[in-house]
Structure 1
Amino acid sequence: MSDTISKDESLSGWINGFIGVLLFSGSMPATKLAVMEMSPIFVTIARAAIAGILALSVLMIYKEKRPEKKQIFPLLLVSVGCVVGFPLLSALALQYLTSAHSIVFLGMLPLATAVFGVFRGGERPHPVFWFFSVIGSLLVIGYAVSQGISASPIGDILMLIAVILCGMGYAEGAKLSKTLGGWQVISWALVLALPVMIPLFFIYFPDHIETVSFKGWFGMAYISLFSMFIGFIFWYKGLAQGGIATVGQLQLLQPFFGLGLAAYFLHEQVSVGMLGVTVGVILCVAGTKKFAK
C-alpha cells in the first residue's frame, strides 16, 4: 500500500499527522486537570457525549450519508478503542500516576499503531523501519525510567491496555478514512457511542458540579473538543494519506510535547535530559519515514 502513496500525499499526510499530534499532546495534562475535580468515569462519558453531539451536528449540516454495513464493525472498533477504551483507562490511570508518567506510555503507541497497521491495514514496512520504531520507543521509555518515576502497577497496567486499544482504534480509523473520510470516521464512531453515553451522562452527573474550578472545566473542554474530535480530523487524514505505520511514528514526539505542557500547566518536573532524548526521537522518526516502504 505504501508504494502507491505519492510524494505530495506523503507530505500532506505528515503535515496533517503532525497537527494531530500537537493537538493530542495536551490530552493527558488536560485529562489530569479534569480528573482532579471530577470522576474519571464522568470525564470519559462527558467528553464522548459532548464530542458526539458536535459530531452529529456536523454530519447533519453536511448531510453525510450513513456508513455501509461493512463499515459498522470497524467503526465500532474505533469507538471501543478511541472513544471509550483509551479515554476511560487513561483517566482511571491518572488516579495513580502523574500526567508526566502516563505520557511516557504514549511512546509505545507508534509501535502499537504500526502493528495493527500491518494486521488490519495490510501495510508491510521495511525491516529497518521496525528497528527505528523500537529504538524510538525505548528512548522514550528509557527517559522515563531515568527520571526515577515511582511505580504504580495498577496505573501502569491501565495505561498499557489503553495504549493497545488506542493503537487498534487508530489503525482501524485510518483504514476506514480512505473510503469514508477522516472527519466522517471519528464523527460516526462518536455517534455510535451516543445512545450509551447520553443516559450515562445524567446517571454519573456530579452532585457538586458547582465546585469545579475553571481549570477543571478547561481540561474537560479541551479533551472534548480537541482530543476527542478536532485532533482526529487531522490525525486520521494524515494516517490515510501517508500510511498508518509511517505517519504513526510522529506519535513518538507526543510525549515530549505533553511533558512540556505538564511542566508548564501542572508544574510537574521534567528533566533537561529531555532535549537530548527528543533529538534522538526525531532522528528515529526520520528513519522510520525513510524506510517505511
Structure 2
Amino acid sequence: MTKLHIKDETLGMWLGVVGVALFAITLPMTRLATGTQADPQLSPWFVTLGRAALAGVLSAVFLLVTRSPRPAPHQWKPLGMAVLGNVIGYPLLLGYALRVVTASHAAVVTALLPLVTAAVAAWVLHQRARLGFWLCAVAGSLLVVVFSVLRAQQSGHGFGFEWADLLLVGAVIAASVGYIYGAQVTPALGAERVICWVCVMALPVTLPATIALWPQQPVAASAWVGFTYVGMFSMWIGFFAWYRGLALGGALRVSQTQLLQPFLSILASIPLLGEPLDLVTLGFAAAVVATVVVGKRLSQPQAAPAVARGAESQARS
C-alpha cells in the first residue's frame, strides 16, 4: 500500500466522521420538525419532500454556478437508487417512526446502520475484508445497541418492540442502499455533484409536492428550525463530506464511523438541550472508537478488482 493511498484512506475516514457529525443531529431535528402524536407539527410527508426540495434548489444553483456536466447514461441508475434510499425512503420512514417512538428508542434500531452499510458495500461494490473486520463491526454495533437500551431505560422509556421498529429497519436499509449507490458514482462525478444531481433529479416531484403540502395551521418555530437543518445539513451539506469519505477511504471501512453517531448526538444535546455527560457515555464511546480503529486496520480488501482500483485512482485525482 502506497503512502498516497494511506493518506487518502485516512482523509476518507476523517471526512466520514465529519459527515456522521452532521448527520448525528438528524434524529432530534426530525422529531422537532414532525412533533409527536400528541403534539404534531409538520407532517412526515412534508418534511421528507420539503427537505429534499430545499436541498434540490440549492443543488440546482450549485450545478449551474460550477457548470457541472450531465451524468453519463450508465450513472443514472445508481443516482436513482440514491434518490429512493436517501431522498424518499430514509426520511419518510424515519419521520413516521419518530412520531411513535422516542429518539432514544430509534437509536437502538438505527445503531445497525454501519453494519448494514458495510454489508451492502460488500455486496454492491464487491469490497472484501477479513473476518476480524466483521467481528469488530458486529462488536461495535452491539456496544451501541446496549448503550442505547441503557439510555432508554434510564430515561424511563424502556424498550419493547413497536410496529414503528419495522419502519426504522426499513429506514436503515434504505439509507444504506442510498449511501452505497451514491458512493459508486462519486469517483467519477465528485461527492458534491452526486448529492446535487440526486436532489435535482427529485426536484420535479419534491418542489410541487412541497408547495401542495405547505402547512395551513400554525407551526412552532422549533419545527421550522428542525426542518431547515434536515434540509440543508442532513440532506445536502453532510453528503459533501460523506460521499467523498466513502469514495476515498472505502465504503466498507468508512461506514463504521457511523458507530459514533449516537454518541455525537448526545454530545450535541449538551449545549442544545442541556443534558449532562456521564462516565458511562464516555466509556462506551471509547470502546466504540476502539472497534472502529481496530476494524480499519483489519479492513484491507483481499483482492480489489481492476475497475475498483481505477475508481479509487480517479477519486484521488
TM superposition score normalised by structure 2: 0.87
- Asked if structure 2 preserves the Cα contact closer than 8 Å seen for 1:5 and 1:242, the reply is no
Work out which of the two has the higher radius of gyration on C-alpha atoms and give 1 or 2: 2
Question: Please, which moves more after superposition, 183-192 or 261-270?
Answer: 261-270
Instruction: Establish whether residue 186 from structure 1 lines up as the match of residue 231 from structure 2.
Output: no
The count of residues paired between Structure 1 and Structure 2 equals 290
Between the aligned partners of 2:12 and 2:131, the Cα distance in structure 1 is 22
Unaligned ranges ≥5, structure 2: 36-40, 301-317
- Percent of pairs identical after alignment? 37
* Alpha-carbon distance in 2 for matches of 1:65, 1:110: 32
Letter in 1 for 2:185: L
1:247 partnered with 2:254: yes
Q: 1:5 to 1:173 in 2, by over 3 A?
A: farther
- What residue identity is the alignment partner of 2:291? C
1:155 lines up with 2:173 in the alignment: no
Counterpart secondary structure, 1:281:
helix
Worse-superposed segment, 140-149 or 175-184 = 140-149
Matches within 5 A, 1:169-248: 169-208=178-217, 211-248=218-255
1:79 matched to 2:68: no
Q: Could you tell me whether the CA contact under 8 Å between 2:107 and 2:148 is conserved in 1? A: no
Aligned to 2:38: none
- 1:273 aligned to 280, 283, 288, which one? 280
Pick aligned residue for 1:39 from 43, 46, 61: 43
Query: How far 1:264 sits from its partner (Å)?
Result: 5.3
- Aligned equivalents of 2:162 and 2:272: distance in 1? 26
Do the aligned partners of 2:105 and 2:149 also contact (CA within 8 Å) in 1? no
2:84 and 2:174 in contact (8 A); partners too? yes
Q: Secondary structure at the match of 2:246?
A: helix
Q: Is contact 1:32–1:91 with CA below 8 Å preserved after alignment? A: yes
Shifted more, 259-268 versus 238-247: the winner is 259-268
Aligned partner (choices 128, 134, 139) of residue 138 of structure 2: 134
Task: Supply the distance in 2 between the matched residues of 1:121 and 1:224 (Cα, whole angstroms).
Answer: 28
Moved more, 28-37 or 97-106: 97-106
- On the 8 A contact 1:174/1:240 being kept in 2, the answer is yes
Deviation of 1:143 (Å)? 1.6
- Judge conservation of contact 1:183–1:232 (CA < 8 Å) in 2: yes
Contact 1:82 1:166 in 2 (8 A): yes
Q: CA separation in 1, counterparts of 2:276 and 2:81? A: 36
Could you list the runs of 4 or more consecutive aligned residues of structure 1 that deviate by over 6 angstroms after TM superposition? 2-5, 267-271
Give, in angstroms, the shift of residue 127 of structure 1: 1.2
SS of the counterpart of 2:216? coil
- CA 1:34–1:108: 2 relative to 1, 3 Å: same
Unaligned runs of 5+ in 1: none
**1:95 equivalent in structure 2:** 99
- Tell me which moved more, 107-116 or 97-106: 97-106
Q: Deviations over 1:111-151 (max 9, x none)?
A: 11111111111200111100000000011111222342333
Amino acid at match of 1:14: M
Distance of aligned partners of 1:234 and 1:215 in 2 relative to their CA distance in 1, 3 Å threshold = same
Tell me which residue corresponds to 2:22. Answer: 23
Q: Distance in 1 between matches of 2:207 and 2:12?
A: 34
Helix, strand or coil for the counterpart of 1:273?
A: helix
Rounded to whole Å, the distance in 1 between the matches of 2:246 and 2:95 is: 25
Contact 1:106 1:251 in 2 (8 A): no
Change (3 A) 1:183 1:266: same
1:177 alignment partner AA: T
RMSD between superposed Cα atoms in Å: 1.9
C-alpha distance in 2 between matches for 1:28 and 1:3: 39
Q: Residue by residue, what CA displacement relative to the aligned partner does 1:231-279 show, whole Å, maximum 9, x if unpaired?
A: 0000000010000010110000001111343465456798752222111
- Quote how far apart the aligned CAs of 1:3 are: 9.1
Shift of 1:187: 0.7
TM-score by length of 1: 0.93
Check whether the contact 1:25–1:257 (CA below 8 A) recurs between aligned residues: yes
- Contact 1:100 1:259 (8 Å CA) reproduced: no
Answer whether contact 2:13 2:254 (CA < 8 A) is retained: yes
Give the whole-Å Cα distance in 1 for the aligned partners of 2:62 and 2:77.
22
Q: State the alpha-carbon separation in 2 of the partners of residues 126 and 150 from structure 1.
A: 34
Counterparts in 2 of 1:87 and 1:267: CA distance versus 1, 3 Å: farther
Instruction: Quote the Cα distance in structure 2 between the aligned partners of 1:269 and 1:159.
Output: 27
Structure 2 Cα separation of the partners of residues 134 and 224 of structure 1: 31
